[in-house]
Chain A
Amino acid sequence: KNQVEQSPQSLIILEGKNCTLQCNYTVSPFSNLRWYKQDTGRGPVSLTIMTFSENTKSNGRYTATLDADTKQSSLHITASQLSDSASYICVVSDRGSTLGRLYFGRGTQLTVWP
Chain B
Amino acid sequence: EADIYQTPRYLVIGTGKKITLECSQTMGHDKMYWYQQDPGMELHLIHYSYGVNSTEKGDLSSESTVSRIRTEHFPLTLESARPSHTSQYLCASSGPPGGTKEKLFFGSGTQLSVL
Q: Return chain A residues, CB-CB under 8 Å to B88.
A: 41
> How many residue pairs at the A-B interface have CB separations less than 8 Å?
54
Query: Is A104 touching B103 in the complex (CB atoms < 8 A)?
Result: no
**Interface residues of B, CB < 8 Å — how many?**
26
Query: Is B98 touching A97 in the complex (CB atoms < 8 A)?
Result: yes
Query: Is B106 touching A45 in the complex (CB atoms < 8 A)?
Result: yes
Query: Is A42 touching B109 in the complex (CB atoms < 8 A)?
Result: yes
The range of chain A's interface size is 20 to 34
With A43-B108, A43-B109, A97-B98 as known contacts, state yes or no: A49 contacts B90, CB within 8 Å.
no
- Can you give 12 A-B contacts (C-beta < 8 A)? A43-B90, A43-B108, A44-B106, A46-B105, A49-B101, A51-B100, A51-B101, A93-B100, A97-B98, A98-B102, A104-B42, A106-B42
Enumerate chain B interface residues (CB-CB to A < 8 A). Answer: 2, 6, 31, 40-45, 88, 90-92, 94, 98, 100-109, 111
